[in-house]
Amino acid sequence: MRISLCNEVVRELDFAAQCALASGLGYDGLELAPFTLGSEPHRLAAACRAELRRIAEDQRLRITGLHWLLVTPDGLSITSRDAATRARTVDVMRRLIELCAELGGTILVHGSPKQRAIDPGDSKDVAFARAAECFAAVAGDAEQAGVIYCIEPLAPAETGLINTVAEAASIVEQVGSPALRTMIDTCAAAQSEAEPIPELVERWLPTGLIAHIHLNDPNRRAPGQGTLRFGAILSALQRQNYAGICSVEPFVYEPDGPTSAARTIGYLRGLLETVEQG
């Protein structure tokens, strides 16, 4: 398995410095949050896309994918009762799929909790159906681009919609596209799922529906900075022969972003060495 760093952790650095830091610390790649690229990242010029990819490759680093997709531009929603808003959102999703592929990425992670809020007066079922329609609308685009679009289950404190792997998997199975999958975010899973995360991994990875992993502690800090023990999680992934990407995605950076990134990769590489020897 490969370890990627979510780039908003070090977003105070310019992109070249982000890549140099991540590569120097021993990460395999960067997973980009589009909002770090500007207010309209889906409209990024072709020359800018090529330059970002070149900068990463010069550091022997891959841009592994995109996450936190709909922060910018403002006003996006996959659950709005306004059809025009949903159509605009689907257009942005399609353009981000193109962006991911052109950057050399293979995975898009659709979390974006505020952009899937349930409108006042709407039922959860209605919001769920609208979200499913939006995911179905972009599945073909992901297939054509050769990328995987992942529905991210999030904790109830973040959103009232799609909180478990099972809920996300139900949309994946309904759509039936090999390019639409789901994933496990360890912070969210620790709050939303009834079973421990290693058991969640053992149950869902064999289904083929899981395509990505986010590593973070329930306290919103990086792995190794809270109570969640990641050795058992990495062991479960190893037993299931997971060969995908594990991206480090804390939300609180202690004492700061670069130091958090450095501490985390050391912790995870040490655990992986133990797991691989065991």
Query: Which residue numbers are catalytic?
Result: 152, 249
Distance CA 120, CA 160 (A): 12
Angle (CA) 169-104-140 rounded to 5° is: 40
Distance CA 244, CA 203 (A): 17
Angle (CA) 212-220-166 rounded to 5° is: 40
Axis-axis angle for helices 231-239, 197-204 (nearest 10)? 10
Q: Kind and range of the H or E element at 31?
A: strand 29-32
Residue 266 region by backbone torsions, left for phi larger than 0, else alpha for psi between -120 and 50, else beta: alpha
Q: Kind and range of the H or E element at 247?
A: strand 245-248
* Token duo for residue 237: 């992934």
